[in-house]
Chains A and B, each alone.
Chain A
Amino acid sequence: MEVSNSCSSFSSSSVDSTKPSPSESSVNLSLSLTFPSTSPQREARQDWPPIKSRLRDTLKGRRLLRRGDDTSLFVKVYMEGVPIGRKLDLCAFSGYESLLENLSHMFDTSIICGNRDRKHHVLTYEDKDGDWMMVGDIPWDMFLETVRRLKITRPERY
């Protein structure tokens, strides 16, 4: 919705031979300037697109992660005590089960979620607030929106 797009559409239409010449038409070019052109993160208008306030508020309040087939979410994964970490695309997994299976395979040890078992490695994550949390408490889709990185803790910690 940037000005550059609307301006170019006006200029392309003036080349069209079926349209009246610019001197005849009373095209108001200021119309194309109603949309601010500057930053890509411009503030959304309140009156366009024409949707009701309720839907507008619902959409504004959601940070909808667009997860199509071609998107990915790579996060760092560290095993406690091991300085070199790995990187993992969380979008490749359908849920916690497949994530754990894969991690267990990658680090060659059994890893579990959200359990106070002192014998196993427990998977934790850093969320968008910077807090370290137990993996598995929230629905998978919500987890994907908030996770920043993963850490596999040593059993003794717990």
Chain B
Amino acid sequence: MNYFPDEVIEHVFDFVTSHKDRNAISLVCKSWYKIERYSRQKVFIGNCYAINPERLLRRFPCLKSLTLKGKPHFADFNLVPHEWGGFVLPWIEALARSRVGLEELRLKRMVVTDESLELLSRSFVNFKSLVLVSCEGFTTDGLASIAANCRHLRDLDLQENEIDDHRGQWLSCFPDTCTTLVTLNFACLEGETNLVALERLVARSPNLKSLKLNRAVPLDALARLMVCAPQIVDLGVGSYENDPDSESYLKLKAAIKKCTLLRSLSGFLEAAPHCLSAFHPICHNLTSLNLSYAAEIHGSHLIKLIQHCKKLQRLWILDSIGDKGLEVVASTCKELQELRVFPSDLLGGGNTAVTEEGLVAISAGCPKLHSILYFCQQMTNAALVTVAKNCPNFIRFRLCILEPNKPDHVTSQPLDEGFGAIVKACKSLRRLSLSGLLTDQVFLYIGMYANQLEMLSIAFAGDTDKGMLYVLNGCKKMKKLEIRDSPFGDTALLADVSKYETMRSLWMSSCEVTLSGCKRLAQKAPWLNVEIINENDNNRMEENGHEGRQKVDKLYLYRTVVGTRMDAPPFVWIL
């Protein structure tokens, strides 16, 4: 390729879009590295503390789209204190100073403030797309700045964020000239919504494809919105309570029939079940259905809806659907690729809503299934072996048995063999979550067979350090390892320090690692940030030998090229 001019090579590179591929290209030779870095428009940063904005901009000056992830995954389950970090402001400030032509910003688990949103909205003339997932720290005032100042806004996608709703008029802040919206998702907002402003905005957005409403948008407003936007592809319904004979309901039914492009349905945050039937006419087109927040809807109504959804590829549902319901899914949804079954009863009332039978039925009925997240009360090795045989194509397999340490409920054995069968059969497995009673044996299997595994979540599992060592030694492609409440300690942690250079991060909480073990690790690996999160005031981590044997409550370590971060709160000790 040396005899092609740079422009030609660059043109070829335009067709290479995945981050992995572009990273690979840049390693071929110096000239390719140079061409690649000037032509890279989309950058993905999996850990915002692994690099800093200055270095990012030095390497990729033509950046247009940036994806940043902040807190570790277990922050989703309240294991990471709010003030831990992941602040986006320094990034936006640096990007603004550099005058880079930013068009898209995607953030996950970061702390976003109104100030950062305001700065973002004013600094980038061509800014088009803001996607915030599981972020916090901002209010609807920040949204108002985005609405008011981003002239070419295409996407405003707020997924499951903690947003302080000031009940302001952020929706009215979109100027009348704003007609470019393609995605508008504010389902996570808890407050009142200006329905008039919303309807006018939707009416003047002919390109609107994805609209997800919050619970403050009632049924009659939904009907009017759907009349304004029959081109909608992805709809998130807000409140859905009404009388089925009312005029609004009939209007809604008529409007829904016209939405022939509708492929994805979600929301139903407060739903009266008998109204689901209004959607039956378009169900045969649906490829994605998310009813995981529809806690009011009884299984029988869910089943009635799903029976119409023959083209479904993605289904997120609550376990109130039951094993019987999953059997209906298995016989109806032959195109199903991704299934998530969430728990509907947190207090473990003993109701066996879904069991291993539902999982087996799905594996038998849905040949294209490659991703599953399944919360259940019980499991057996036999079922997992059958699932592995039926579905050798799993990419993501996450099983959560609600009661920790629960064995095979028929044989009382650990579930080592079942999970072993999964990793042995599923050669493309990239993500795995374990649960139930598990010994070191399951980790032996994982280390031996899970060659493509990139992310592993372990809770209440294993017996000795050997377990963790099997994984660290065996899984060559491991990127993210997160462990809680398992008996792994310093021996496993320190066995092969260079391994952590090949991984994005390691999380260990309520394990057996000690302070002195973590200190030794930090000494051996200066290119790692070893963070100890210690919220307990009484438990001051002291220097002297005795306390060195003190167990560390939460350990989070990650590779970085920019050293210790300066924004850590007092309860985070970076060794």
- Using a CB–CB cutoff of 8 Å, the interface residues on chain A facing chain B are 1, 5-6, 9-10, 12-13, 16, 18-20, 25-28, 31-32, 34-35, 41-42, 44, 46-56, 58-60, 62, 64, 66-68, 139-142
Contacts and interface: CB of A to CB of B under 8 A. Distances in A.
A59 B298 contact: no
B464 A55 contact: no
B272 A139 contact: yes
A6 B404 contact: yes
A56 B407 CA distance: 25
B219 interface: no
Contacts of B78: 46-47, 53
Contacts of A47: 77-79
The 9 closest A-B pairs by CB, nearest first: A139-B272, A62-B295, A44-B346, A46-B78, A28-B487, A25-B463, A50-B77, A6-B405, A1-B403
Contacts of A35: 404
Contact of B463 (A5, A19, A44, A55): A19
Contacts of B7: none
Interface string B346-357: 111101000000
B61 interface: no
A13 B295 contact: no
Contacts of A46: 77-78
Contact of B273 (A44, A55, A60, A141): A141
Contacts of B407: 9, 12-13
A32 B345 contact: no
Residues of B in contact with A, size category: 35 or more
29 contacts: A1-B403, A9-B405, A12-B407, A13-B407, A13-B414, A20-B464, A26-B463, A26-B489, A28-B512, A31-B485, A34-B510, A41-B347, A46-B77, A47-B79, A48-B77, A48-B404, A49-B343, A49-B346, A50-B77, A53-B78, A55-B293, A58-B295, A59-B343, A59-B346, A60-B346, A64-B295, A68-B322, A139-B241, A142-B296
Contact of A5 (B273, B344, B349, B406): B406
B298 A67 contact: yes
B77 A51 contact: yes
Contacts of A26: 463-465, 487, 489, 512
Contacts of B463: 19-20, 25-27
Given A53-B162, A62-B295, 13 more contacts: A12-B407, A31-B487, A46-B78, A47-B78, A50-B76, A50-B77, A51-B375, A53-B76, A55-B292, A56-B346, A59-B344, A62-B296, A66-B349
A42 B347 CA distance: 8
Nearest to A50: B77
A126 to B, nearest CB: 22
B188 interface: yes
B533 to A, nearest CB: 13
Contact of A58 (B134, B293, B412, B457): B293
Given A54-B188, A141-B296, A1 B402 contact: yes
Contact of A32 (B342, B402, B405, B486): B405
Query: Do most interface residues of chain B lie in helix, strand or loop, or is the interface mixed?
Result: loop
Interface of B: 76-79, 134, 160, 162, 188, 241, 243, 269, 272-274, 292-293, 295-296, 298, 320, 322, 342-349, 351, 375, 400, 402-407, 412-414, 437, 439, 441, 457, 459-460, 463-465, 485-487, 489, 510, 512
A58 B400 CA distance: 19
Contacts of B441: 18
A11 B163 CA distance: 46
A48 B414 CA distance: 20
A17 B132 CA distance: 51
Nearest to A32: B405
A139 B274 contact: yes
A35 to B, nearest CB: 7
B134 A52 contact: yes
A27 to B, nearest CB: 5
A80 to B, nearest CB: 28
Contacts of B162: 53
Nearest to A141: B273
Contacts of B347: 41-42, 44
B237 to A, nearest CB: 15
B351 A66 contact: yes
Contacts of A20: 463-464
B459 A50 contact: yes
A141 B76 contact: no
Nearest to B463: A25
Nearest to B244: A139
Contacts of B486: 31
A108 to B, nearest CB: 29
Nearest to B322: A68
Nearest to B512: A28
A123 to B, nearest CB: 17
A16 B415 CA distance: 13
A1 B19 CA distance: 42
Contacts of A28: 487, 512
Nearest to A65: B298
A138 to B, nearest CB: 9
A158 to B, nearest CB: 22
